[in-house]
A and B are shown apart, each in its own frame.
Chain A
Amino acid sequence: MKIRKNAIHYNVMVLPGIIFLILFSIVPMFYAVMAFQNFKPGRGIWGSEWVGLENFSYLFMLPDSRLIFFNTVFLAVMKIIANLIIPLVFALLLNEVRQRFMRKTIQTIVYLPHFLSWVLLATIFFDVFSLDGMVNKLFGLFGVDPILFYASNKWFPGIIIATDVWKEFGFNAIVYLAALTGINPVLYEAADIDGASRFRQLWHVTLPGVRTTVVLLGTLALGNVMNANFDQIFNMYNPLVYQSSDIIDTYVYRVGLNDLQYSLATAVGLLKSVVSFILVVVSYFMASRFANYRIF
């Protein structure tokens, strides 16, 4: 009753969000028709010539397209897996630290990189991994020949994944830590009385306790498979490693803005959106099925 009386306030509060959504998410969707045109900015959407599916057929002819789809999915899947497991392991370990002060300090330190921008980190990593950088100096001590990490298609995807995990694992661990504190301590006491070791407790009490969280985060991440993090890759990659790290978003940026091929870029972007849409639906379905997660 009370809620209904105040409903107008809530609606007003939602309004800016809705306007924002319409302006930046709904309206731009209309421009996706560029993918079916030979778009010329001077003539606008209405004045440009329609070419049907020509952009798409050209897209499939390009050797790049298979590459960027593969790279996008590969990098994103590897990141999702790494970003599920490593923070979980970290959270479990941190949870075993009994000194409160110690725990808080470690937690704070590892989540700080989350707040640094990729522009900054890319420069730092470039120095760290360059020919006379820290990593190569360290390898040199063991007699390994210097490796050009940034120019090697073998090493570069690993660097992308590792640096992404390094930046985010502290932040991602927060959810797990929250889930861990939610586990009823009585269960541990009971397990203790039954003679369970620390490891047994972890196996039979802690892990089942966070299982739903892991499944939920995993399925939600599925909707993001087509996003391999433009920010990071754009700032770190170079022409030598396009082969292993060029993703849809960076490709769209280069083709669209650098080469002025608006229609082709839109076609690529549209294709990505369609696939993403399907994945979001699937992951939402799975989330509601397995983790009982529902928005509505």
Chain B
Amino acid sequence: MKAKLLLLTLAFSLVLSACSSVNKGSSSDEKSNNGSAANTQSNSGGGTTKPSDEDLAYEKYKDPVTLTIGFKIPDDKLADGDTNDNNIASRYFESLTNIKVVHSWEAKGDDAFKQKVNLAIASNDLPDAMVVDRNQLRKLIDNDMLEDLTDVYDQYGSKLVKDIYASTKGMALQDATSDGKLYGLPNVAIEADAPSLLWVRQDWLDKLKLQAPKTIDDIEKIAQAFVDQDPDGNNKKDTLGLTGDKQVVYGQKPNPNGFDSIFGSYHAFPKNWIKDANGNVVYGSVTPENKEALAKLADWYKRGLIDQQFALYKETQEPIVANKTGLFFGPWWMPYWPLADSVTNDTKADWHAYAVPTDKDGKFVTHMAPVTDRYIVVRKGYEHPEAAVKMLNVFTRYERRQDPNTAEVKKLDDYAVATGVHIRNYYPFDLLLDYSDAVVKRYEAVQKALKGEVDPATFDPDTKQVYDFSVIEKENPKKNMDAWKPAIAYAQGGRILATEPMDKVYSVFYGTTRTMETKWATLEKLENETFLKIIVGDLPVSAFDDFTAQWKKLGGDQITAEVTDIVNKK
């Protein structure tokens, strides 16, 4: 009796599974049928030629497809009635693709976004697609939670996207590949993003009759003057010297207020894996050079040259936007944000960028950043992984000014100018693609055109736009902030990158090793807290030696050995 029952269940389950496989087969047939039907329709004049990749890349879905994502809330103020998931940008992209983007969750600020992603990973409850960082990607691949995008990318990736990835010599895609499978679509960071420049209020410098900075000592002098001599002229001692961020250094791509360049001038490269003088792979945060940089910063903090409250700000750009400071470190694109806000609040503000401090040989030394640091990933089991690729195609084409729908694009541009809303903040994914030498090339081209050496009409759309904005800015300085942002970013940041000689130090390793998976977070925490405490004087500078010893003991030695192994195998 029992055996019979068992047989019956078995037979039943067989039938069931057969059914489901039949279903699957027929549905995929249906899909391909649909596809060819659509193709013949679109090619009705041209007979039976196969559609090119480009058609697939931008082809609009016949039936609406839903794509759930996690979204980072920007600062912009949208028009009445518009929301983060229903605004001029989202409507436009939906009209192009027929992909309905739904926000599973939204988070404001980088920290909150990171935590939301971590929470999604921890609870195994991912949206269909989202943007993750390197550690999160590693975790997701390890946990087998991602859809393999190899074929989807091959088939649906647009020429523009593929070209940009190709400009990194395969490094970008390699970064998101594991065991030969592509698990994410990386961003492509332009090389220019890596160096951290010193941004100075030139109008304050001039007012106090100070020289442009070159060395550490110059910066010290300027900071002292900015604190003591009331550069903003309101008769109150309310200005700051150098500002900082509680992260101390960014190590890879900088943001406002990192001290990376100070460390660089002492030839210390915290958070980067480098080769020392003997050719050994070492972790940049534990080399003795760090101690000198920390000692200098601790001294500055003690003397009040560094903002006393820098570690307490929730948002690191606060003193910059409030025009309390005239001195901070940041990459070339600072004019886009936060400097535009600073100038809006005080139109006298005149920011200049410098490649300083130089080392004792007079050279500017900077670490470089990895080609990619963010990835679009797709949840394993999502029915339309190509939807994420199509979205990337569409907004990249728009971002790189190659969108052929000129009327619609003009509408978006006008809207952006009228409201001050950044369209790019409302792309479904915070992931930009650009050629890795784009900034320097564009700067040089624009300069030539401004001098009348080349005809701007020959420019690609991106460069043309920078040129146009530069002209507007030149004629009417600080009248149109949308023109000011790119014009100054290129005129200041771009100029430094194109003309100043730099010693570029590349990290030899960006990935994660086995021991890193379990111990790295702890080590990083120890490092961040030690550096911060030394600077604010909670720990003496000599505590750096204890830190290195402890770092090695808590897994650092083992990790260094693993990294050495990987680097040597390359």
Contact = CB atoms under 8 A, between A and B. Distances in A.
B122 A41 contact: yes
A62 B246 contact: no
A239 B550 CA distance: 19
A257 interface: yes
A64 B246 CA distance: 19
B121 A41 contact: yes
Nearest to B146: A42
A183 B199 CA distance: 71
Contacts of B115: 257-258
Contacts of B311: 151, 238-240
Interface string A238-276: 111011000000000011111111101000000000000
A148 B144 contact: no
Given A131-B308, A239-B529, A257 B145 contact: no
Given A41-B122, A257-B119, A262-B122, A148 B525 contact: no
Contacts of B135: 260
Contacts of B121: 41, 260
B233 to A, nearest CB: 19
B143 A258 contact: no
B521 interface: yes
Nearest to B536: A240
A124 to B, nearest CB: 14
| Interface size grouping (class) on chain B | 35 or more
B309 interface: yes
B529 A41 contact: no
A58 B246 CA distance: 27
B175 to A, nearest CB: 19
A51 to B, nearest CB: 9
Interface string A146-162: 00101101000000000
A145 B127 CA distance: 52
Q: Which of B518, B533, B553 has the most CB of A within 10 A?
A: B518
B547 to A, nearest CB: 10
B3 interface: no
Interface string B126-159: 0000000001100110111100000000000000
B312 A62 contact: no
Given A238-B312, A240-B533, A262-B122, A42 B521 contact: no
A240 B139 contact: no
B68 interface: no
B227 to A, nearest CB: 13
Interface residues of A, number: 33
B122 A260 contact: yes
Which secondary structure dominates chain A's binding surface? Answer: helix
A243 B529 CA distance: 10
Contacts of A258: 114-115, 118
Interface string B523-553: 0111011001100101000000000001001
B449 interface: no
Contact of B532 (A126, A240, A261): A240
B16 to A, nearest CB: 25
A150 B246 CA distance: 14
B33 interface: no
A40 B309 contact: no
A148 B525 CA distance: 23
Given A42-B142, A239-B246, A261 B521 contact: yes
B405 interface: no
B523 to A, nearest CB: 10
B309 A151 contact: yes
B517 to A, nearest CB: 8
B124 A131 contact: no
Interface string B229-247: 0000000000000000010
B499 interface: no
Interface in A133-154: 148, 150-151, 153
Contacts of B521: 255, 259-261
B155 to A, nearest CB: 26
B123 interface: yes
Contacts of A240: 246, 311-312, 532-533, 536, 538
A41 B519 CA distance: 18
B143 A40 contact: yes
A63 B144 contact: no
Interface of B: 114-115, 118-119, 121-124, 135-136, 139-140, 142-145, 246, 308-309, 311-312, 518-519, 521-522, 524-526, 528-529, 532-533, 536, 538, 550, 553-554
21 contacts: A38-B518, A40-B139, A41-B123, A41-B145, A42-B140, A42-B144, A43-B143, A58-B518, A61-B554, A63-B550, A64-B525, A131-B309, A148-B308, A148-B309, A151-B309, A151-B536, A240-B538, A242-B529, A243-B533, A260-B121, A260-B135
Given A42-B142, A239-B311, A243-B533, 13 more contacts: A38-B518, A41-B124, A41-B145, A64-B525, A131-B309, A151-B311, A151-B312, A239-B532, A240-B246, A256-B122, A257-B115, A260-B521, A262-B122
